[in-house]
Amino acid sequence: MAAVKRAALAWLVFSLLCCSAGFADETSVRDEINQLKARVSALEQKLTDQEKCINDQKQCILDQTKKITEYESKLSQFDTDLHRQVGVPISIAEGLEIGAGATMIIQGTNNVNNASSDVQKKVSRADASYSTDITLAKEFKSVGGRAFLHLENGQGNGLEDNLTLYSNVNRDADDHENVRVTEIWYEQGLFKDKAVVTFGKLDPTAYFDNNEVANDETTQFLGRIFRNSPTLEFPDNSAGIRLAYIPKDWIELGYGVFDGKSSWEKIGDNLFNVGQITFKTNFFNRPGNYRFYGWNSNVYHTKWLDSERTKEAAYGFGLSFDQKLSDITTAFLRYGWQDPKVYNPDIMATGDLNYSLEHSWSAGLQIEGKPWGRENDVFAFAVGQIFPSDEYKKATGRLAKTEGHLEAYYRIHINKHLAISPDFQYIWNPFGKDVADDIGGIFVGGMRAQVDF
C-alpha cells in the first residue's frame, strides 16, 4: 500500500512538471518543484506515522490478549488442589468434566499395640483398605464461576484400628461403603480473578496447611503426620466459606470459616476459623511456597488441670514450606503448635484414650526418577516428631514421650492409569510409651495401588 501511494505521488509530480514547463519560467518551475517535494516529504512522513500507529495498535491488541489470558488463568494460582488423585478429568460437555480414581492399600505390622483390652498385643497383622473418588466439575466461563461435586466411598480401616498412636499410619482409610457427598461447592472469581470466594461443603485441608509434596495420601505419604500437622484440629469436610486474594503474583491471602463439628447443627456455636498467608517465591529460579497460618476453634474443649471448665476454645499456629532444590528434588518442612492447656474430648487414640499435643514437626525430600531412567517415578522420605503437652502429662501422670515417625515410599509409574507404591513406616515411642506392657517400636510395611480412570 505504501509503495502504491509513493508511485502515485511521483506520477503527480511528474505530470505537474510537464504541464508547467510550457508556460512557466525556470524560477517558477523550481519553486513549484521544491513545494511539491516538501508536500511529498510531508505525505511520506504522515504515511510512516500511520504505519507506526498501526503497528502500535497491533502490539496493543497483543498486550490486551495476553492480559485476558492471564486473567483467565489467574484462578489456577490459588491453592485449591483437592489432594485426592481422581484421574485426568474427561470433558463430556463444554466446561463440564468428570474424573474418577481408586486407591487400594495393604499394610502389615510386626506389633499390634492397640490399647483395648480385648486385643492381643505384640503380634503381627496385615489389613487392607480401599477408597474410590468420583468428581464432577462445571466451569461457567461467562461469569467466572465454578461448581464442584465430590463423591467418595470405601471399606476397611486398615491397621489404624489396631494401633494406638498420636498420629496413625493410613490417612486414606475410609470405612464407609455407602457412596456419600464429601464436597459440594460453588466458587466465584472476583475483581478480574484476583480474588475468589468458595462456599458449600468444603475440605479445609485443600486450602490450608497444604503442601506440594506432602499433602495427598493417594500419591504421596500415607502417614497422617506427613499429610497435615497433627496439632491442627481441622474439622472433617463441613459447611464453610473460604476467601482468597492474590494482590500480586508472589503472595496469596486466605481465610476460612467452617463448622467445627461437621454436624451442620448450631454452626455459630462451633466455628473453626483459619487464616493463611502464602509467599510464592522463585529463589535461584526454583519455585517455592512458604505458608504461615493461625487458627481458632470454638468447639468445646476441656481444661486439663481444671476438669470443671469444659467449654474452652482452642487455638494454634503453624507453617508449611515446600521448595524446589533442583530439577528433580523438592524439600518440605512443617511445624505446628496448639494450646497445651486444653483437649478435645472427641479426639481419641485407638482404645478411647484422650490426649493433647503441643508441638509437631516434619521434613523430607521428594526425588523424581529421571537420573535412573524413570522420569515419572518418585522416591520420597520424611521424618517427624510429635510432642504431647506438659499439662496432659501432669493431669494423667503418663510418660508422654515424644512420638517419632519415619516414612519412605517409591511411586512406580506403570502407565498413565496405574501407579504402585511400596511404603515403609517406623514409629518409635508409640503413644508416648503409654500403652500398657507395650513400649516397643512399630514397623509398618505396605503397598498402595492408585488407579486413574
Sign of torsion over alpha carbons 79, 83, 89, 95: negative
Residue range 8-27, pLDDT digits in tens: 545 544 554 454 444 445 56
Distances in whole angstroms, Cα of residue 132 to Cα of each of 57, 86, 172: 53, 8, 10
Residue 155 resides in a domain: yes
| One domain for residues 43 and 155 | no
| One domain for residues 91 and 18 | no
Which single residue is written with the C-alpha cell 492480559? 67
Distant-in-sequence, close-in-space partners of 258: CB < 8 Å, separation ≥ 6: 202, 204, 235, 238, 239, 240, 271, 272, 274
| One domain for residues 344 and 219 | yes
Distant-in-sequence, close-in-space partners of 79: CB < 8 Å, separation ≥ 6: 206, 207, 210, 244, 252, 254, 278, 289
| One domain for residues 242 and 114 | yes
DSSP state of 402: P
Distances in whole angstroms, Cα of residue 406 to Cα of each of 209, 427, 428, 444: 20, 7, 9, 10
Contact 342, 303 (CB under 8 A): yes
Residue 218 resides in a domain: yes
| One domain for residues 8 and 153 | no
| One domain for residues 370 and 270 | yes
Residue 77 resides in a domain: no
Residue 75 resides in a domain: no
Q: Where are the alpha helices (DSSP H) in 22-155?
A: 26-73
Residue 23 resides in a domain: yes
Residue 304 resides in a domain: yes
- Measured CA to CA, the distance from residue 439 to residue 426 in angstroms comes to 14
Residue with more model confidence, 50 or 245? 245
| One domain for residues 217 and 362 | yes
Contact 126, 112 (CB under 8 A): no
DSSP state of 306: B
DSSP state of 347: -
Closest CA to 354 of 429, 427, 304: 304
Contact 252, 245 (CB under 8 A): yes
Residue 76 resides in a domain: no
SS3 453: coil
> Looking at the predicted structure, is the pLDDT value of residue 317 above 60?
yes
SS3 429: coil
| One domain for residues 407 and 291 | yes
Average pLDDT on 310-314 reads: 97
| One domain for residues 100 and 165 | yes
Task: Report the percent of the chain where pLDDT is more than 70.
Answer: 82
Element (H, E) at 136: strand 125-140
Domain extent at residue 429: 85-452
Q: Check residue 94 and give its pLDDT.
A: 75
- Measured CA to CA, the distance from residue 246 to residue 280 in angstroms comes to 11
What is the number of domains present in the chain? 2
Residue with more model confidence, 120 or 379? 379
Which single residue is written with the C-alpha cell 485476558? 68
Residue 29 resides in a domain: yes
- Looking at residue 119, which CATH number applies to its domain? 2.40.160.180
| One domain for residues 155 and 266 | yes
Residue range 77-111, pLDDT digits in tens: 555 555 555 666 666 667 789 999 999 999 999 98
| One domain for residues 113 and 40 | no
Residue range 354-377, pLDDT digits in tens: 999 999 999 999 999 999 999 999
Distance of CA 168 to the CA centre of its chain: 22
> Looking at the predicted structure, is the pLDDT value of residue 74 above 60?
no
Residue range 166-200, pLDDT digits in tens: 999 999 999 988 999 999 999 999 998 899 999 99
SS3 224: helix
| One domain for residues 98 and 220 | yes
- Measured CA to CA, the distance from residue 118 to residue 111 in angstroms comes to 15
